[in-house]
Chains A and B, each alone.
Chain A
Amino acid sequence: GENVEQHPSTLSVQEGDSAVIKCTYSDSASNYFPWYKQELGKRPQLIIDIRSNVGEKKDQRIAVTLNKTAKHFSLHITETQPEDSAVYFCAGINTNAGKSTFGDGTTLTVKP
């Protein structure tokens, strides 16, 4: 089955700095890669996603890159703000089978 590894498990940055979270996946059948933000006690919320036929996607301060050959994808947050502090999860999904595998999460802390 699919295995998704996420690094780092914790990340602390100064406000205004950039943050990068990386994930690797094992199943070449995975073709959709969403990123979710989960604040303490709240539901995961989709912040950005990328499909396997795209190499990069950007939405304001957030971007995701995908390297299909190496089977890894990354979340980039620029100009971080304290409200970006949360746990971020990546996932690898095979949309043909509806099978999803999440990483173990990265706790991002943005210090003011």
Chain B
Amino acid sequence: GAGVSQSPRYKVAKRGQDVALRCDPISGHVSLFWYQQALGQGPEFLTYFQNEAQLDKSGLPSDRFFAERPEGSVSTLKIQRTQQEDSAVYLCASSLTMGGTEAFFGQGTRLTVV
């Protein structure tokens, strides 16, 4: 693929609904990151994968947030029982290197919880 692809681009969820956000990284990229970006702020780290291993999930706000990358390629960020404060843009980034240098971002998924 040409770049990092995320789907859906926009998601409106009713409070309490579960959502799943998908990230297709650049083929062969080892590192994958998820970020949450609130309006007017910088991306905030959620979790980091190196291939299929989730090496750091310290940024996940609560146990309602879960991420996986089972085959070391596509990743899914799942949010259970969504709440209004979960409304944000969720960005995925991938990198060829294990440390995450020169990372490329996807276009993001804008989640609105109503």
In the complex, residue of chain A having the shortest beta-carbon distance to the beta carbon of B48: A98
| Minimal beta-carbon separation of B30 from chain A (angstroms) | 10
Q: Does B18 contact A (CB under 8 A)?
A: no
B56 contacts A99, C-beta separation under 8 Å: yes
Contacts of B41 in A (CB 8 A): 104-105
- For chain B, the count of residues having a C-beta within 8 Å of the partner chain is 28
Bound form: Cα–Cα A105–B108 in Å: 17
Residue of B43, B98, B103, B104 near A89 (CB, 8 A) is B43
Question: Which of B98, B100, B105 is within 8 Å of A93, CB to CB?
Answer: B100
By secondary structure, the B interface counts as loop
Residue of B nearest to A97 (CB): B56
B105 pairs with A43, CB closer than 8 A: yes
Tell me whether B106 is interfacial, beta carbon within 8 Å: yes
Per-position 1/0 for A62-105, Cβ under 8 A of B: 00000000000000000000000000010101011111111111
Instruction: Give the complex CA separation of A98 and B48 in angstroms.
Output: 7
- The answer to whether A102 touches B48 (Cβ under 8 A) is no
Residues of A in contact, count (CB < 8 Å): 25
CB pair A104–B100 under 8 Å, yes or no, is no
**Interchain CA distance A99-B99 in the complex, whole Å:** 8
Interface centre among B43, B44, B104 (most CB of A within 10 A): B43
In the complex the two chains form, what is the Cα distance from A29 to B106 in whole Å? 27
Nearest to B4 among chain A residues (CB) is: A43
- What are 17 A-B pairs at a CB distance below 8 A? A6-B42, A34-B103, A43-B105, A44-B43, A44-B91, A49-B101, A93-B101, A95-B97, A98-B31, A98-B33, A98-B48, A98-B98, A98-B99, A99-B48, A99-B56, A100-B48, A102-B45
Nearest first, the 6 closest Cβ-Cβ pairs linking A and B are A95-B99, A102-B42, A98-B48, A43-B105, A43-B107, A44-B105
Known: A99-B56, A100-B33. 10 other contacts (CB 8 A): A6-B42, A43-B107, A43-B108, A49-B101, A93-B100, A95-B99, A95-B101, A98-B33, A98-B98, A104-B41
